Structure 1
Amino acid sequence: MREGQGKRWITIIALLCSLNLSAQEISVQGGFLEDSLLIGQDVNFWMSATYPPDMEMVFPDSLYSFSPFEFSDKTYFVTQIRGDLAFDSTVYTIQSYEIDKVQYLKLPAVVLNGRDSIIIHTPLDSIFLTELAPVVSDSTKLKTNLDYQLVDTQFNYPLMYYIIGGLILITIILLLIFGKRIIKWIKLRRLRTQYEQFSEVFNSYINKLKVDPEPELAERALVFWKNYQQRLDKVSFSVMTTKEILSHDFTKELDKPLKSIDRVVYGKRVQENVFQDFQQIDEFTQDRYSKKVEEIKDGK
Structure 2
Amino acid sequence: MRDVQGKRLFTIIALLCTFHLHAQEITVKGGFVEDSLLIGQDVNYWMSASYPPELEMVFPDSLYMFTPFEFSNKTYYPTQIVDGLAFDSTVYTIQSFEIDRVQYLKLTAVILNGSDSTVIETPLDSIFLTELAPVVTDSTKLKTNLDYQAVDRQFNYPLMYYILGGLILLIIILLLIFGKRILKWIKLRRLRMQYEQFSEVYNEYIKKLKVDPKPELAEKALVFWKNYQQRLDKVPFSVMTTKEILNQDFAGELKEPLKSIDSVVYGKRVQKNIYQDFQQIEDFTQDRYTKKIAEIKDGK
Which range, TM-score by smaller chain? 0.3 to 0.5
**Higher RCO, 1 vs 2 (CA within 8 Å, ≥6 residues apart):** 2
Q: TM-score, normalised by structure 2?
A: 0.45
Normalised by the size of structure 1, how large is the TM-score? Answer: 0.45
Structure label with greater radius of gyration:
1
